[in-house]
Chains A and B, each alone.
Chain A
C-alpha cells in the first residue's frame, strides 16, 4: 500500500498528520496535499505533530516528504513536534537540519544575459594575451638559465622525451609524408601531362616537400600527437598538485618540465622535416616511375638539378619554428590547466587548436618573409 496521509485538528492550533502505508522512494514522494492549503487558510495553526503507527515501510521517500513539511513550516514560522515520527526518521531529520543551508553562495539560477556573456568572454580573451606573454617570458628566462648551465632538469627525462617525440613519431610521419608526396605528384602530373612535361613532377615534388609541405605536415602531426600529450601530462600533474610540489621544493617547474619538452621538439623537428622530405620525394618517384614512364635515374637527376640548399634550409627553419610553437602551446595549456578531469580535456583540446593556429600564422609570416628576402 503506498503512503497515505490524513489530517486532523485535535485543537484549533494543532495540525495532526497521520501517516500510513509504505513510504518508499520508488513510489515517488507523495505531494504535500492538503497540508500546504491548510497552513495557507488557517493562520491560527502553530504546531504540526505526527502519527506514524500505521507506517509499514519507509526510506528516503518519507524523509523527502518530511523535508518539504519542515520547509513549509519554516516559512510559516510553525513549530514541528517530531515525537510521533518513526525513531530513525526523527533522528535523520535532526541530522538533516543540523547544518543550516549555506546562504549567499551566489550560485543559484543566475544565467548571465547574452551581452554579459559576450563581455565576460571578451575580457577573458583579453586577459589570456598577457598570460601567454608571461609564459613566453618565463620560457625565455629558462632558456637563458639553460645556456648558463643553471637550469635544473634531468638529462634522462630529456632523452625519454626525445625518444617519444622523435623516433616514435616516425611511422605516422612516414605515412603522411608518403601520401602527401603521392598527392602532389599526381596533381602535378595531371597538369604537366598537357604539355608532355611529366619530368617536371620531380621539380614540383622536391620543391613542395622540402620547402613547405614537409614542415607543415610534420608540424600538424606534432600538434596532434605531441602537443596534446604535453598538455595532458602537465595538466594531470597540475590536477595531482605535482607542479605545486616542484614549486615547494624550490625546483622551477618551467625548467624541469617545460624546458626539456621544448628542447626535445626543437632538436627533433629539423630531423623529422628532413626525413619527411625524403619520404615525400620517394613517393613522387614511385608515382613517376610506375605511372608516368619516367625512369628512376631521370627522376633522380631532375630532382638533384632542381634542388637548392636554400629550399632545404627554409623547410628546416620553418619546421623548427613550428616545433617550438607546438611545444609552447602544449606546455602553456598544460600549465594553465584547472584542477579537474574536465579541465585536462579542455587543456588538451586548446593545446591542439592553439598549436595549429600558431603554425598557420607562422607559416604565412615566414613565407612572406622568405619571399621578401628573395630566398
Chain B
C-alpha cells in the first residue's frame, strides 16, 4: 500500500464513484461489476428485491466491509487504497443511520448525540448541549434529551439515530431503511427532512429503501440491484426508470408489480 492517498481523475461534482465493485462473503458472491456515480447533492436510492445485497452495498460504501474486487472513490480518493489516517478523515464526513437505530443503549439520547461532538470538535460541554438540543428538535424530539433509547418507541429511536448521524453536519448521510417502522406521517416528515438537509446544507444522501412513495418523493438518482443475475440492472432517476426502463423487472418493481 502506498503511503499517500491515490487520487483518481473524476469530475469535481462526482462525490462517490463505485468502480467495478464486486462484493462477496468468502466464496459467496453477493453482487458483481457494479459501476455508478453519486453526484454532490444527490439523493441516491439503492433499491432491489429482498436479499439482493442492498445493505451489504451500504456497508461497503461506509467502509465497514472491504470489496472483493474494485474500488469505492470519495472525491476521487480510493477509500480502501488509502492509509488509515486518510480513511479516518474520509469517514469523519459520513453520517449513518442504521436500520434499527443502533443507538447506544447505555447512553441517554443527549449522550448518544454528544459523543461524536465530544470526540471530533473542540466545543465546550455547554455548547455541545445546545447543539444536541437543536439536533433533537430538528427530528421532532425536543425535550427527550434525558431518555434512554429503551424508553422511547421504535419510530422515535429511528429519528434519534438520524439526529446522531447529523451530529457533525456530515457531507454524506447514509440511511438503511429509514422509513421502515414509521407511520405515514412520520415517514413523510422524515422524507421532508432528508430533502431539507440536501437543499439547505448540500448534504449528499444515500438511502437504501423499498418504500416506493419515498423513492419517488426524494430520489433523483438510483441503482437497481438484481438478486438473480447478481449485478446491477440499471441506474438513473427512479421516476424515469419507472416509465421508461427497458427492463420489465425494474418497471414492475417501481410500479408495485402492476404493468
Contacts and interface: CB of A to CB of B under 8 A. Distances in A.
Interface in B108-144: 121-124, 127, 130-131, 133-135, 137-138, 140-144
Contacts of B133: 67
A340 B131 contact: no
Interface residues of B, number: 34
Contacts of A42: none
B137 A102 contact: no
B200 A92 contact: yes
B200 A98 contact: no
B140 A63 contact: no
Given A64-B127, A88-B201, A105 B147 contact: yes
A298 interface: no
A28 interface: yes
Given A26-B121, A340-B105, A64 B134 contact: yes
B150 A95 contact: no
Contacts of A28: 122-124, 127
A68 B131 CA distance: 10
B196 interface: yes
B200 A96 contact: no
Interface residues of A, number: 33
Given A63-B134, A64-B127, A341-B105, A98 B146 contact: no
Contacts, number: 88
A92 B196 contact: yes
A67 B146 contact: no
B211 interface: no
Contacts of B137: 67, 96-97, 99, 101
Contacts of A102: 141-144
Contacts of A343: 105, 150
A14 B169 CA distance: 32
B134 A60 contact: yes
A89 B192 CA distance: 15
Contacts of B141: 99, 102
Interface in A92-117: 92, 95-103, 105, 107-108
A88 B200 contact: yes
Contact of A341 (B106, B123, B131, B201): B106
A87 B148 CA distance: 34
Contacts of B130: 29, 64, 67-68
Interface in A325-352: 338-343
Contacts of A108: 146
Interface in A50-107: 59-60, 63-64, 67-68, 87-89, 91-92, 95-103, 105, 107
A25 interface: yes
B200 A89 contact: yes
B148 to A, nearest CB: 7
A340 B121 contact: no
B147 A107 contact: yes
Interface string A263-286: 000000000000000000000000
A95 B139 CA distance: 8
B199 interface: yes
Given A60-B134, A96-B137, 10 more contacts: A29-B123, A60-B169, A67-B137, A91-B199, A92-B138, A92-B200, A96-B142, A101-B143, A103-B143, A340-B105
Closest 3 CB pairs of A and B: A88-B200, A102-B143, A340-B105
16 contacts: A25-B123, A26-B121, A28-B122, A60-B131, A60-B169, A64-B127, A64-B131, A67-B137, A87-B200, A91-B199, A101-B137, A107-B147, A340-B148, A340-B150, A343-B105, A343-B150
Interface of A: 25-26, 28-29, 59-60, 63-64, 67-68, 87-89, 91-92, 95-103, 105, 107-108, 338-343
